[in-house]
Amino acid sequence: MFKKILIANRGEIALRVIYACREMGIKTVAVYSEADENSLHVRFADEDICIGPARAIDSYLNVPAVISAAEITGADAIHPGYGFLSESAYLAEVCEACHIKFIGPSPQNLRLMGDKARAKRAMRKAGVPVIPGSEGPVETEEKAQKVAKEVGYPVLIKATAGGGGRGMRIVASPAELGHAYRTCQREAEAAFGVRDVYVEKYLESPRHIEFQILGDHHGSVVHLGERECSIQRRHQKLLEESPSPALSDKMRRKMGHIAVEAAEAVQYTNAGTFEFLLDKDGKYYFIEANTRLQVEHGVTELVTGVDIVKEQIRIAAGERLSLKQSEIVFSGHAIECRVNAECPDSFVPCPGIIHVFSVPGGPGIRVDTAAHSECTVSPYYDSMIAKIMAYGHDRQEAIQRMRRTLDLTVIEGIKTSVPMHQRILADPDFCAGRFNTSFMERYLPTPARLATAV
Ligand code: ADP
């Protein structure tokens, strides 16, 4: 087992990894930017090392700085958390060359899944249902027109390197395609450095259902059930839960089996998530795989009792998975609300100083956060400041526990998404489990909605 792990991340996820390491008797190294000198991850780790200025590109995304920090401190492994370098095949390769274990999938897996068009092709080959669309990137506007005509409008133009809800455009008719194609290419190049785009059928109001999988280096793969992530705004997740109110046990078994087969087909190792869209007729389609620990992994931990971060560390150290599929038992229901520092109506980030931060605990509540009273929410990084998770014997109890926690939460100094979550949790359709990825439109003051309202 590793003696010392460097955590190439910040915020709540850096703390989450530190907690797992402490429980396993592994020493930790925190890396931090100049903006994060007083952060909790620096305080909680056994060692810390500054890796650069505030801008992520100069610090948390700086591979040479991260590797140097690992070498200086003698860390034998790096946990990348999520975001930043977590899906960087380059970091994984450099780690290999430097004999430092990367706690994540192989560089080959990272490269394959990092290109969404290639990933879809590999999944199609493995017999996994994928959304109809182009076979790979579409190099010309004419080709895009041809594919769109074949699959039927509306279609989605997506960046092969896209992520975080960015790099996609909905196209309703042939007349709009040219402009959308060019804009998507331009945006993809600016945001991800790769201008390749592909075309796929746009499903009207599907549900987003993803399966958590774990694979070891001895050929075993298991799934830990699904997460329902349909409560999104601008294709970004806001609230997640497990299990999904939309899946029967039979569907869960079937989709879980497909996710495991998909992972086996590409010799996937470590933690990963296979994402599917489920349409109104109960048909499901693979959209992409995420090759890292997900923000929302906690809801899966609550319903399975499996510590995913510890499993990741054990897998990277060459150990076998601690559980067989038949030993994974699902019980109860868990919901996560992502608390962001943002204006609840416009979703505009709202960094600043939090003067009071108090989230009550109590039965069934887990709070993953690096925030505290008198801490600063930096404008340089993601606006998520806490993940509040509620567990109950059933969905209703989880909702009740989440509601009382949000009602008693006090965060002063900045605006947060707590009021938005309160609205969601009071919505009769949400409570009845009747929703899809269009759910949040009713709460968004978009020009189109205002126009119809008038
Ligand atoms: P990202 O990597 O940016 O998260 P995804 O491919 O996972 O992108 O898609 C994010 C969200 O965008 C999905 O959860 C879903 O709401 C929407 N979406 C993606 N592909 C489609 C599609 N073909 N049809 C309808 N909605 C889609």
- Residue closest via CA to ligand 1's atom 21 equals 202
Q: Are 314 and 102 in contact (CB under 8 A)?
A: no
Q: What is the DSSP letter of 320?
A: P
d(CA 387, CA 402): 11
d(CA 16, CA 29): 13
d(CA 287, CA 274): 8
The pLDDT value recorded for residue 11 is 98
Q: Are 302 and 335 in contact (CB under 8 A)?
A: no
Phi, psi of 205 (to 5 degrees): 50, 60
With a 6 A CB cut-off, is 228 part of the ligand 1 pocket? Answer: no
Question: How large is the average pLDDT for residues 116-144?
Answer: 94
The pLDDT value recorded for residue 452 is 34
Give tens-digit pLDDT for 200-214.
999 999 999 999 999
* Domains recognised in the chain with CATH numbers: 4-103 (3.40.50.20), 132-201 (3.30.1490.20), 207-453 (3.30.470.20)
Q: How many residues does the chain have?
A: 454
- Residue closest via CA to ligand 1's atom 13 equals 235
**281 pLDDT exceeds 60?**
yes
Is residue 421 very low, low, confident or very high in pLDDT (cuts 50, 70, 90)? very high
Cis-peptide, bond into residue 243, ω within 30° of zero: yes
**453 pLDDT exceeds 80?**
no
* Residue with tokens 């019980």, as numbered in its chain: 331
Encoded amino acid at 359, one letter: V
Give tens-digit pLDDT for 351-364.
999 999 999 999 99
Is residue 191 very low, low, confident or very high in pLDDT (cuts 50, 70, 90)? confident
Q: Are 183 and 252 in contact (CB under 8 A)?
A: no
320 is catalytic: no
**77 pLDDT exceeds 50?**
yes
Mean of the per-residue pLDDT values of the chain: 95
The pLDDT value recorded for residue 446 is 59
Nearest to 312 by CA among 322, 324, 327, 304: 322
Question: How large is the average pLDDT for residues 296-311?
Answer: 98
Beta-strand pair 27-33/47-52: parallel
Q: Are 418 and 405 in contact (CB under 8 A)?
A: no
By three-state DSSP, how is residue 164 classified?
coil
Q: Which of 82, 229, 235, 237 to mutate to test the pocket of ligand 1 (most atoms within 8 A of CB)?
A: 235
Least confident of 289-293, 328-332, 345-349: 345-349
Q: Are 114 and 161 in contact (CB under 8 A)?
A: yes
By three-state DSSP, how is residue 155 classified?
strand
Q: What is the DSSP letter of 341?
A: S
Question: What's the predicted TM-score (pTM) here?
Answer: 0.96
Q: Are 66 and 9 in contact (CB under 8 A)?
A: no
Give tens-digit pLDDT for 385-395.
999 999 999 99
The tokens for 393 are: 């014997």
Is residue 9 very low, low, confident or very high in pLDDT (cuts 50, 70, 90)? very high
Give tens-digit pLDDT for 215-245.
999 999 999 999 999 999 989 999 999 999 9
- Quote the ligand 1 centre to 11 CA distance (angstroms): 26
With a 6 A CB cut-off, is 287 part of the ligand 1 pocket? Answer: yes
**448 pLDDT exceeds 60?**
no
Give tens-digit pLDDT for 17-59.
999 999 999 999 999 999 999 999 999 999 999 999 999 999 9
Question: How large is the average pLDDT for residues 180-195?
Answer: 91
C-alpha torsion angle, residues 372, 378, 380, 382 (rounded to 10): 40
Is residue 454 very low, low, confident or very high in pLDDT (cuts 50, 70, 90)? very low
Q: Which atom of ligand 1 is nearest to the CA of 204?
A: 25
